[in-house]
Structures are given as structure tokens and as C-alpha cells.
Amino acid sequence: MAKSSDDEQEWMDDLEASVLMNDAKTATDVLRICKGKPINETLRPLAWQKCLDVSRSAFHASLSEIFDLPEQKLLRLDCQQFVAKLGNDDEDKVSVMSDLETILTTYRKVSNITYESGNGWLELLLPLLALKKPQNETYPLFAALRTLYIPNGCGHKSGDPFHLFRLLLLYHDPELCSFLDTKKITPDLYCRSWFQTLFAANCNLTVVQAMWDVYFQHSEPFYLFFLSLVMVINAKEQIMSLENSSKEVLVEMVCNMPSQLELDDVPDFCALAHYYGLKTPSSFRKDLLDKMFGDEALHNLLHGTMKNSSSSSTLTSPVEEKDLNLPQPLSQALCLPVCAAELVDSVSSSASGAPMSDQADGLIVETVRFFLVDCRPAEQYNSGHLPTAFHLDSTLMLQEPAAFATAVQGLLSARRQAQAVGSAAAGDHLCFLGSGRNEEDQYTHMVISSFLQKQKQHVSMLTGGYKAVHEYLGDSLNENLEHHNANSCLVCKANTTQPLESPQAQTPTVDIFSKLSAAVSKLKTSEVKGKLLDYIVNPAGSSGKPPVERHVRANDKLGRRYRNVAPVFSIDDDQEPFETASGAGNEENGTDDDGQREIINISQWSKENSITATFPCQEYKVNSMFYDSVLALSETYMYVLRLVPGRKGHAQIVARRSLSSVVKITSRRKHPNMITFKYGVSQDDDLVISDMDRLLIPNSTEAMKTVTKQIVNYLKTQES
């Protein structure tokens, strides 16, 4: 039901009550109460304690009164210098000094991690001291924070966290990654202190507190990486404009980026990080969680210390150090790895039509969907492949570069077509699949390299290749693979113990091309001539006519999504809409189906659809774009019309919402004209939100009155 805006006070009261009743037990409880927003000062200490789960005995220790570390002198000196910089009065200085040294000395003894200057402990502890809790309560918070959220291996420049960060940057912004790589600016140079202190060393205290509020509620250790990613990508233009500056200047500039964050930016900053998190394949989390988070000292003991294992820049290979979880060490990965489980599950869930969305933060974001590219030789592909796999013969790249280029073009256009019709094979994320054998995978690597070199976004590779998929599927090969032929399948042949299965198992196919050709018939011009079909084999190729025609659209171009995006921290900045006519930004909203929207004449359309009221507004998208729009109301529907630039009185219908589906209307306290409409159904007592629009409506009070009235009227007529 339509509800008026500000319920902030309400949830704040909830929290207070809840905390007082000691209801909240875990971060999830706190998240439910605080909805991922910053927490007020009086409640913060308790909320953090709940989120960090400090009741765990592992985080408790009796504080050390004896300062006898081998590096005690160093620690004390650093504490003194740190306190001196804080600029408190003398009395405070003494107490802060004592808190710092006691807690850090204790932590040093308990964890058995040696203190080193600049390892971030001091900065990390400061926001906790600001909670003004006694030492014995602050210590567990510090221990928990270090264990749960600071990635292991940050101490070394070739630590895994930095390799992971580079891969994530490469995944989301290959252009920027290549720029930094070429400048020899490795992530450890700029984000070490971000990682070691969760930004505490770089941001001012109020910002850190607000950020940590959100952070701890989500209790997602890898969130740090996405916050950092947003930070760097946000500074892209600035970074790239310094092309001729020295490495040192660039490093310093990037490193100090977080200091520009202001309190108001925190919600947007966090929301964006969350968005990037959802738009990233998640396999690496499972692979790395145990290794990167948890008891560092214990980990070092088990796996040899970071320093010994990967002293870089020498040629002695770190390959000897085999990790059981990852077939290849992270430092040697060409691109982001995806495991067979994630790929296969993603394929099957999108084929079954299950909605893949995440409703945290009220943002409806489709999670990762793969466009699978099978790079194995044709005969291997023909002996079994995943139903959604497109075949791209990687040996072509060597033998016929021109043909290969055509094939790649065709592949990318097939991807767009598949996306346009919402096929199960569609996906924004390219996942390359090799055979899992070195003979063929060197070609697969080459193909992937060429995509990366061309700065294609969202490129990943399946760990272990086809072999891994085969193994993951186990006994259900025939249900999940197409054209699987046990007699010619290399994996089956290698596994002679398995009984041979009947060749050419019939499986239900996901009929991409019949859907595609339906879409193609709508399109007009012919761009790529038939040839590409010789190189791209489609899984369902036999069942439908493949698309030899395609229509070039303005959003065809890949890999430039960030370029025209407004600076993320300046939501108020208006921005020239780009590629408006083709419906840019449709990747994050399910209602913007295919960029093929009809252009209407507003006044004529309004008559035809009995529009009762219109309000000029701007539609705001997750990617920080604003579109000049009109909110139109009829007795049963509400519409968002996006104005067509240069054609006065014309617009595209971006959204049509039944008034009965509006379940929530909210506004931001700071921006009362920013109205969020949420749609969905109520099931039992819960609201299931299926979609939303966010509009900036000048004079929103007036508009909201009319909208609410209309909804109430509509519901009345429904009831009667």
C-alpha cells in the first residue's frame, strides 16, 4: 500500500527497542532493523558488537599489562607519533596512548602476528576507540575486525588480495586496468592502506563510521574489494587524464581518493559497491574465503608465510606451491576464474526462467548471467557441450585471422540478439571454456587474451574447462549436455571405468535461434553477411534459422559503459543522456526490455490512453544517469515516458505499471523530490518487491498527492 515517505525515525526506534530487548543476535538481525543504513551514534557500539559477533570466545583475551614485545619500542614510538597527530589535549593523549599500546600489544601476543610500522593496526583501531568503550570491550572488536574483514596477505606487495583486486578491475574496466598495468602501477601501491584499515587511514572519522555501519551489517568480507573498485573506477577520468604524469603522482592521487569522500556520499558509494558485487561472478569468493579471511597466523603456519611463498619479480616460479582449491594460483590467472558449479547453476536457473534478482537496498539488479563461449576444437564440441554454449573455434585465430574476426563479430552480435529476446543463452558476462587440457587451452588463452587486449568487459574463464563441467555434472550428463557422445567425448574416453552411454542422447534444447530469428525478422538492415555462420556453431542450430541479418544499434558498442557515467558521488549533477534513443542503461532494469521501444507523440497518446495527469520529471538509473521524462497517470496505470531529445512532444514508454502493483512510495529525506516507487505483491505479511522506478520530480508534494489519490481511487473501484 502506498505509504508516505520518511520512515527513518521509525526504524531508528525499532533498533533502539530491539537492541534494548537484546533481540538482535547477528549481523543479519541488525541488517533487518537498520536496513543497511548508517546507525546513530548511541546505538553504534552495540550494533557493531552484534555485527562483529564479539561474543565469540576467539576474540576475547585478558589484556596484557606487560609490554615486553621484541618490537615494543617500535610499537610505542608509532603509537606516540600517531597520537601526536590526532591533536587531542594532553590528558586525552595519555589515555589514548595507553589504549592503543595495550590493545595492540595484546593482539600481537594473542595472534602471533608481528607488528610492523604502517601495517594499519593503529588506523584500524582508532574508529573503535572513538566508540569510547572500555579497553576490554574494544579489544574483541579489534580482534574480530582484523580476523573477519582484513584480508590476509596485505602485508606483501604480491599478496593475493592485490591479485584479486587487479582481476576484478580487469573484469569491470579492462581499459583502466591496462592503463595502470602499462604504467606499472600495481594495486598494492594504492590500495594497501585501504585494505589494511578498511579505509580508516584514508577517510575522515565520520565517513569511516557511516561506511562501517553499512559494511558490518552486510557482513560480506569481499565488500572491501568492491568499495575499492568503485573508488578506482570512479576516478577513471581523472586517472587517465594524468597520462603523462609520473607514476608517483598517479599513485598518490589514486591513494588519496577516499579522502574526498563525504558523509553524504556514503550511501551511494556503498550501494554502488553492492551493485558491482552483484555484477561479478561469485566463484572467487568460495575459492578464497578461507584463505583470505580468518586466522592469519594459523594460515601462515599451514601454508608457509606469504613472504616465502611469493617473493615476486624473480623468475623462480611460485607454481610449485600448489593450492588445492585453485588449479592455478591467483597471481597467474589470466582473467577472473569461474567455477563449473556457478556456470552450470547459472545456466540451469536462467533456463528454468527463475528470476535472478537481488532486492537488497531496494535495487533490482539482475545477477550475473553468462554468455558461454566454447573454444574447443569442433570435434570436441560436437561430442558434448552445454546447451547454451556458443562455439568459437580458437584455432581459426591462427589460421585465418580475418575469419576469426568475423566470427567474433558474429558472436557478439548473437549475444546482443540473445539478450534482446531474453534467451537463456543470453548474458552480459562472457565466460570462456577450454578443454582443460594444455594442448587446446593454449589457444583458449590466446583467444581470451585477444578479448582482453581489445578491452572487452566482463571476461571470465571457466576453471578446469569442459573437463570440470563434465565432472561437476557427474551422472546427469545426458540431461545437461547436448550431443553428448560417450564414444568420442575425451573426458569419457579418459574415464574408461565408466560404462559407455548411448550416443546422441536426446535432450530438451534451449531453442535460442528460433527465438532469435523471431527477433531478427523485426530487424531490417543486413550487416554481417552469411559467412559468420560457418564459424559459429550454435547449440540449437538445427532447429532454427540463424540470424544472418542484424541491425546495428547505438548501444551495440561494448566496453564503454562507464565512460559517460556521471561521477558517482555527485548524484545531483545532471548528465547529458547518452544513447537515449536506443534505451541505454537497460541492463539493470528488467522492464526496459530490448531497446526497441516505440516512439509516441505524447499528446496524442495521452488522449488514446485516457491520461488524467502528467508531471515532468527525470528518471534516475542505477548507473547515475538521469533521463528527462514524464510521469503520466491514467485511472489504472502509471507510465514513465522518456523524452526523445530533439523531438519535442515525443517520448518512449519506459515503464507501464498497474496502480495495483505499487506497494511502496518513498522519498529521500535529503532529496525530497527524489521519489522511489516500488512494485510488487504482498505475500502474507511480507512485501515481495519485483521492480522499482526512481524519479526526480520537481514539486513532488503536488505530484504525490495526485498519485496517491489515484491509487486509492483505483483500489476502491477494484474492491467494489
Q: Residue 433 carries which side chain, given as an amino acid letter?
A: L
Tell the smallest beta-carbon distance from residue 349 to another protein (Å): 31
Instruction: Determine the interface stretch with another protein among 48-56, 214-222, 309-317, 464-472 (rule: CB under 8 A).
Output: 309-317
**Distance (Å, whole) CA 448 – CA 441:** 10
Kindly tell me which of 113 and 461 has the beta carbon lying closer to another protein. Answer: 461
Kindly tell me which of 325 and 604 has the beta carbon lying closer to another protein. Answer: 325
Contact characters 6-45, another protein, x per CB under 8 A: ----------------------------------------
Kindly tell me which of 38 and 174 has the beta carbon lying closer to another protein. Answer: 174
Kindly tell me which of 158 and 417 has the beta carbon lying closer to another protein. Answer: 158
Q: Which residues contact 325 (CB under 8 A, 6 or more apart)?
A: 287, 288, 290, 291
**Distance (Å, whole) CA 77 – CA 98:** 12
Per CB under 8 A, does 178 bind another protein? Answer: yes
Q: Which of 169, 198, 227, 334 binds another protein (CB under 8 A)?
A: 334
Per CB under 8 A, does 315 bind another protein? Answer: yes
- Distance separating the N- and C-terminal Cα atoms of the chain: 17
Task: Give yes or no for a contact between 236 and 174, defined as CB atoms under 8 angstroms apart.
Answer: no
Q: Which of 402, 499, 598, 719 binds another protein (CB under 8 A)?
A: 402
Task: Give yes or no for a contact between 115 and 101, defined as CB atoms under 8 angstroms apart.
Answer: no
Q: Which of 9, 22, 57, 316 binds another protein (CB under 8 A)?
A: 316
Per CB under 8 A, does 401 bind another protein? Answer: yes
**Distance (Å, whole) CA 421 – CA 593:** 8
How crowded is the C-beta side of 607, counted as CA atoms within 13 Å?
3
Per CB under 8 A, does 485 bind another protein? Answer: no
Please spell the DSSP secondary structure of 286-304, one letter per residue.
HHHHHHHSS-HHHHHHHH-
Rounded to the nearest 5°, which phi and psi values hold at 617? -160, 180
Per CB under 8 A, does 324 bind another protein? Answer: no
Run of H or E including 257: none
Kindly tell me which of 55 and 332 has the beta carbon lying closer to another protein. Answer: 332
Tell the smallest beta-carbon distance from residue 454 to another protein (Å): 9
Per CB under 8 A, does 302 bind another protein? Answer: no
Q: Give 512's strand partners.
A: none
Kindly tell me which of 287 and 693 has the beta carbon lying closer to another protein. Answer: 287
Q: Which of 62, 314, 506, 720 binds another protein (CB under 8 A)?
A: 314
Q: Which of 182, 352, 506, 525 binds another protein (CB under 8 A)?
A: 182
Tell the smallest beta-carbon distance from residue 171 to another protein (Å): 13
Kindly tell me which of 333 and 703 has the beta carbon lying closer to another protein. Answer: 333
Per CB under 8 A, does 336 bind another protein? Answer: no
Per CB under 8 A, does 307 bind another protein? Answer: no
Strand order in the sheet with 662-667: 599-601, 650-658, 637-643, 626-633, 613-620, 686-696, 674-683, 662-667
Tell the smallest beta-carbon distance from residue 418 to another protein (Å): 25
Per CB under 8 A, does 148 bind another protein? Answer: no
Per CB under 8 A, does 409 bind another protein? Answer: no
Q: How many residues in the shown chain lie near another protein by CB under 8 A? A: 32
Kindly tell me which of 397 and 655 has the beta carbon lying closer to another protein. Answer: 397
Q: Which of 9, 313, 525, 683 binds another protein (CB under 8 A)?
A: 313
Rounded to the nearest 5°, which phi and psi values hold at 308? -70, -40
Q: Give 676's strand partners.
A: 666, 694
3-state secondary structure of 158: coil
Per CB under 8 A, does 395 bind another protein? Answer: no
Q: Which of residues 432-461 bind another protein (CB under 8 A)?
A: 438, 441-442, 445-446, 448-450, 452-453
Per CB under 8 A, does 397 bind another protein? Answer: yes
Kindly tell me which of 83 and 334 has the beta carbon lying closer to another protein. Answer: 334
Tell the smallest beta-carbon distance from residue 182 to another protein (Å): 5
Strand order in the sheet with 459-462: 336-338, 459-462, 429-433, 370-374, 390-392, 536-537
Number of H helices, E strands in the chain: 30, 16
Q: What angle do CA 446, 447, 451 make, to 5 degrees?
A: 115
Strands (DSSP E) along 547-636, which ranges? 599-601, 613-620, 626-633
Tell the smallest beta-carbon distance from residue 186 to another protein (Å): 9
Task: Give yes or no for a contact between 582 and 420, defined as CB atoms under 8 angstroms apart.
Answer: no
Strands 686-696 and 613-620: what pairing?
antiparallel
Tell the smallest beta-carbon distance from residue 669 to another protein (Å): 46
Per CB under 8 A, does 503 bind another protein? Answer: no
Instruction: Determine the interface stretch with another protein among 21-29, 331-339, 416-424, 524-532 (rule: CB under 8 A).
Output: 331-339
Per CB under 8 A, does 328 bind another protein? Answer: yes
Q: What angle do CA 79, 85, 89 make, to 5 degrees?
A: 95
Tell the smallest beta-carbon distance from residue 220 to another protein (Å): 27
State how far the alpha carbon of 233 is from the alpha carbons of 106, 298, 676, in Å: 38, 34, 26
Grid cell in block for residue 617 = 520529471
Per CB under 8 A, does 241 bind another protein? Answer: no
Per CB under 8 A, does 331 bind another protein? Answer: yes
Instruction: Determine the interface stretch with another protein among 123-131, 175-183, 381-389, 613-621 (rule: CB under 8 A).
Output: 175-183
Per CB under 8 A, does 398 bind another protein? Answer: yes
The 10 Å CB-count burial string (b at 16+, else e) for 532-548 is: bbebbbbbbeeebebbb
What is the CA 148 to chain-centroid distance, rounded? 20
State how far the alpha carbon of 65 is from the alpha carbons of 62, 135, 377, 576, in Å: 9, 12, 67, 62
Q: Which of 81, 308, 312, 476 binds another protein (CB under 8 A)?
A: 312
Tell the smallest beta-carbon distance from residue 456 to another protein (Å): 11
**Distance (Å, whole) CA 149 – CA 196:** 9
Tell the smallest beta-carbon distance from residue 50 to another protein (Å): 41
Q: Which residues bind another protein (CB under 8 A)?
A: 163, 178, 181-182, 312-317, 319, 328-329, 331-332, 334, 397-398, 401-402, 404-405, 438, 441-442, 445-446, 448-450, 452-453
